[in-house]
Amino acid sequence: MLRGDVNRVVVGHHTNIQDNAVCHVNVPAPCVVGNYVTVGHGAILYGCMVRDEVLIGMGAILMDGVVVGEQSIIGAAALLTGGLQVPPRSLVYGAPDKVISKLGEKEVAQIRHWAEEYCEFWPRNCGAKLVTVTLEQASVRSANCGYGFDRPPVCGSVRRSPREVPARKPL
């Protein structure tokens, strides 16, 4: 869900925000998510900035004022406390947060690859048509990439068109 009620939510291109993830804002801080970012299922991004080519694991929580540097990985269920500045190319996990190590070239290359794969998945496997979505349209749509939901999901600055969900066969 993208909720920009008192400030703005910005989502870059080739970025995907998975099922049950929330991007929310507060009065002094927008939620800005860069290009080629993957936000895992159930993650919460609250008034923070995520720079380009970042992987945020499932269930991670990024609080007010957090800035995640380029080409970083945030582990599943990590809690990034308010105001944390994550250096570029960092591996962060834990609750509370801890920068564990710097990422190597192989890990950095995988971050962009995962983001591209997610955004190519829908048109390739679901017969979806990609169209440009304005920020206003994106802020009122669900940002989930699952099957069978009543609103089209958002994948960065594009979305797939609505499609029929095939009926399930009885077991």
pLDDT tens-digit profile of 93-144?
999 999 999 999 999 999 999 888 887 776 665 555 544 455 445 444 433 3
- 161 in a domain, yes or no? no
Whether residue 80 is predicted with pLDDT greater than 90 in this model: the reply is yes
* 165 burial via Cβ count (<10 Å: 0-12, 13-18, 19+): exposed
- 149 in a domain, yes or no? yes
Which pLDDT score is estimated for 165?
39
- 152 in a domain, yes or no? yes
Enter the pTM of the model: 0.74
- 168 in a domain, yes or no? no
pLDDT tens-digit profile of 11-31?
999 999 999 999 999 888 999
Residue 111: both structure tokens together: 């971050």
Contact predicate 44/27, CB 8 Å: no
- Say how far apart CA 101 and CA 91 lie, in whole Å: 5
- 104 in a domain, yes or no? yes
- 62 in a domain, yes or no? yes
Which pLDDT score is estimated for 160?
33
- Say how far apart CA 62 and CA 17 lie, in whole Å: 14
Nearest Cα to Cα of residue 55 among 86, 26, 10: 86
Q: How many domains does the chain have?
A: 1
- 109 in a domain, yes or no? yes
Which H or E run includes 22? strand 22-24
| CATH number of the domain within which 60 lies | 2.160.10.10
Residue-range definition of the domain harbouring residue 90: 2-156
pLDDT tens-digit profile of 133-170?
554 454 444 333 333 333 344 444 333 333 443 444 55
Which pLDDT score is estimated for 117?
87
- 162 in a domain, yes or no? no
Cis omega (within 30 of 0) on the bond before 152?
no
